[in-house]
Amino acid sequence: MTKPVLVVDDESDMAATYARLLRRQGHRVVCVGTRAAGIRAVADEPPSLVIADLRLPDGDGLDVVRAARALPAPAPVIVATVLASRETRQAAIAAGAAAFLAKPFTAESFSTLVTQVLRTA
């Protein structure tokens, strides 16, 4: 079985959008809505890719980035947020994110970015 793409976002509509777009590309998707659940999911079933929001109800999404990057076979991470600024981008990249995506975004730009990140991982 292929590794899943892990989506960590507390907005259920956003998580459903990610899942729909990722499934169109043929990915198996696991969605969780908290920092703790994201860290647990990374440890339980190492993903092929993580899509993580920065602001989660129980803490910083960058902790999920660090957990994914600390795996024996580190998973690439795309940080997606409405809090897009130079500072948040730099923090995400410093934590190990492979890419940074400002919300809102188009379906095409998201799908293209996923393909590029997985290709270079």
Q: What is residue 1's predicted lDDT score, i.e. its pLDDT?
A: 62
Q: For 68-118, how does the pLDDT look when each residue is reduced to its tens digit (9 = 90+)? A: 999 999 999 999 999 889 999 999 999 999 999 999 999 999 999 999 999
Domains in the chain with CATH codes: 5-120 (3.40.50.2300)
Helix residue ranges per DSSP H, the chain = 12-24, 35-44, 62-69, 86-95, 107-120
Q: What is residue 95's predicted lDDT score, i.e. its pLDDT?
A: 96
pLDDT(8) > 80: yes
Residue of 103, 93, 3 lying closest to 53 (CA atoms): 103
d(CA 61, CA 80): 10
